[in-house]
Amino acid sequence: MGFKTALVTGASRGIGRSIALTLAANGYHLMITCHRNAEMLEEVKRYIESHFPVTCVTFVGDMGDFLAVEQMYSVFTEYFSSLDLLVNNAGISHLGLLTDLSPEEWDRLLQTNLSSVFYTCRSGIPLMLRRKNGKIINISSVWGVAGASCETAYSATKGGVNALTKALAKELAPSNIQVNAIACGAIDTEMNSFMTEEELEALLMEIPAGRLGRPDEVASLVLDLCTENNYLTGQVIHLDGGWI
């Protein structure tokens, strides 16, 4: 097979959408997923296939459900025989005190943000091992490094993603598969749209760069990581304007 393939989870909007468009623009054939926004995901597919000479396959399902992930890979292998790049972007946030967090909400955050990475890697790695080549990029958060008040569960899941990234990189390095994470700061997406104007101004004062990051800047870093240095692995790279 002479072309490259990528799987991007959580690609119906925001960072995931931008990553998918950037990869398509650089010749990657894609499978893109989301949990609920099927119509938005199809819009991304239509845009990609009308602008770039690549194939784009969609899958709607919960990446925090192992059976759904297995089904997704079954569809993937109908179109592609190998996997060059796995981008784990699917995730949700939760704002509130730990004591107000229900066990169900805790489990949901763990499944969506952390178990999903385990599931997609577990089923995707064999497709990379066949050719001893591949890259896994996990979209994480600076809160997985520093922790955030009122985002305890979210911070815990992203800390787990960072630790998984470092450990898995050591397992896969002998097979020429690199695993890295991007710890995003405040990115201008719907996930941060809950802030009032005053809260946003206060946040920007804390960020040395003086602005929010853009989804296309995350996408650009993903492209750099999957096209450049094969010796770079096991890293959690901060993309936060100097914030943390």
Residue 69 φ/ψ, nearest 5 degrees: -65, -40
**Residue listed under structure tokens 């700061």:** 185
Residue 169, both tokens: 């990189």
Residue 42, both tokens: 């199809």
List, in order, residues 6 or more apart from 27 with CB less than 8 Å away: 3, 4, 52, 54
Is 154 a catalytic site residue? yes
Question: DSSP assignment, residue 131?
Answer: T
Tell me how crowded residue 58 is: count the other CB atoms within 10 A of its CB.
Answer: 18
**Residue listed under structure tokens 């995901």:** 41
Catalytic one of 73, 79, 154, 231: 154
> Amino acid identity of 173?
A
Instruction: List active site positions.
Output: 154
